[in-house]
Structure 1
Amino acid sequence: MGDIVRFVPKSELERARLIREARAIYDSIFPPAEPDRAPQDGEERVKT
């Protein structure tokens, strides 16, 4: 009953989406040098 609902502006959701997309493009061009690095938020661990 005491749940707090946070309304997120559409612009904030779009900004987060664009950042994730840019990070994916960057990682596809410049793959991480460390295969055992810790995954970032929302990112899956890379298996080699």
Structure 2
Amino acid sequence: MGEVIRFVSKSERERDRLIREARAIYDSIFPPADPVSEKRNDAPASPTGVVAHTYRRDDFLPS
């Protein structure tokens, strides 16, 4: 059948190259985490999954 040819501008190719380069630099500084530690990071911060908010006492009193 027929092939579809898509025009990609030079600026778009350069943008893609810069993004790939930036990701490579980022990954070299902050290596991707392994699946085991990712599961630990997805766990809720508290055992109940509810985050408690703390307020100063004067937040509730009228001025």
Q: Which runs of 5+ in 2 are unaligned?
A: 37-63
- Pairs within 5 Å for 1:1-48: 2-34=2-34
Distance in 2 (alpha carbons) for counterparts of 1:8 and 1:19: 16
Larger RCO (alpha carbons 8 Å, 6+ apart): 1
TM-align CA RMSD: 1.8
> How has the CA–CA distance of structure 1 residues 17 and 8 changed in structure 2, closer, same or farther, with 3 Å as cutoff?
same
Gapped regions of structure 1 (runs ≥ 5): 37-48
SS in 1 for 2:5: coil
What is the count of residue pairs matched by the alignment?
Answer: 36
Structure with the higher helix share, 1 or 2: 2
- Sequence identity, in percent? 78
Q: TM-score, normalised by structure 2?
A: 0.49
